[in-house]
Amino acid sequence: MSNTQANPTDYNTEIPPTWCPGCGNFAIWAALKNALTSLGLKPWQCVIVFGIGCSGNMTDFIRSHGFHALHGRGIPVAEAVKLTNHKLQVIVVAGDGDTYGEGMGHFIAATRGNHDIKLLVHNNHVYGLTTGQSSPTTIKGTKTKSTPQGVIEIEANPLALAISSGATFISRAFAGDIPHTQLLISQALQHRGFALVDILQPCVTFNREQSYAWYGERIYKLEDTGYKPNDRQKSFVKAMETEKIPLGVFLKEEKPAYHEEIAFLKENPLVEHSIASIDLNPALEEFL
């Protein structure tokens, strides 16, 4: 690949996506490639850590440094990559089950630490890859394969959780609007610290409730209302709205990222530190 201007097709692999026709994942895939390209980022400057799920299958369809993590463990892998080489743009692509179910503890820890990773959640309100069981964001009362009488629990509110845990960039997109999704991903990529883009992603095969039309009747953009994303309490109130669904940036704050608080990473990334002068013998003596 040449060192010229990046192009979205630079991120394509030889493998065409295998998602169901009409799946919202296609739009997120396009928006992510467009956002990376618009910022002049080349595939070798990015590490994308994928979770398990239909969204995680993107690992086959996008060219960059990458890692396909265990279920729910994409976030700590991404944190480790960033701490090792903070010059890289580090992104997590995962689903709602992966992130807000198996990975919920890691999600909260990443927000509290302001780790400089960008989390794109394909939120389709079900476990799609395993054919439609309820996930933490499935709306109460919804009948799924695993809840034939309807979900009993109330749905998790990831934006409210992130806001209350100290996250510094919190946003919501809709996969039916590629330019707006691209815009929010671009803003997340430029944020210093942890950034969440929760992307409402219709699963046309296993979630017939939250369809493109269902979202079309409910979504609106915060920026069209004069909303300013600079007040944590107001952002919490917006995150708690359910009848109408706000999209856009809920909150943006400037704070040092996790790696910026570590003194010996100030000058160089860990990967550039010399290990020639490190004497491991004292540490090893204990085991001799």
Rounded-to-integer distance, Cα 260 and Cα 240, Å: 32
Between 142 and 164, name the residue whose CB sits nearer to ligand SF4.
142
Q: Does 203 bind ligand SF4 (CB under 6 A)?
A: yes
Q: Does 23 bind ligand SF4 (CB under 6 A)?
A: yes
Q: Does 171 bind ligand SF4 (CB under 6 A)?
A: no
Q: Which stretch binds ligand SF4 (CB under 6 A): 112-120, 160-168, 190-198, 203-211?
A: 203-211
Q: Does 137 bind ligand SF4 (CB under 6 A)?
A: no
Residue 44: CB minimum distance to ligand SF4, A: 28
Structure tokens at 65: 């440094």
Give the Å distances, CA to CA, from 162 to 77, 114, 121, 157, 252.
19, 11, 13, 9, 12
Residue 28: CB minimum distance to ligand SF4, A: 10
Between 30 and 204, name the residue whose CB sits nearer to ligand SF4.
204
For ligand SF4, what does the binding mask look like between residues 90 and 129, x meaning CB under 6 A? Answer: ----------------------------------x---x-
Q: Which stretch binds ligand SF4 (CB under 6 A): 86-94, 99-107, 198-206, 277-285?
A: 198-206
Among 6, 10, 11, 19, binds ligand SF4 (CB under 6 A): 19
Pick from 67, 121, 112: nearest CA to 94: 121
Estimate the crossing angle of helix 104-113 against helix 74-84, to 10 degrees: 30
Between 103 and 202, name the residue whose CB sits nearer to ligand SF4.
202
Q: Which stretch binds ligand SF4 (CB under 6 A): 38-46, 140-148, 163-171, 199-207?
A: 199-207
Q: Does 204 bind ligand SF4 (CB under 6 A)?
A: yes
Give the Å distances, CA to CA, from 264 to 114, 115, 143, 268.
18, 16, 52, 8
Q: Does 199 bind ligand SF4 (CB under 6 A)?
A: no
Q: Which residues form the interface with ligand SF4 (CB under 6 A)? A: 19-20, 23, 25, 54, 124, 128, 203-206
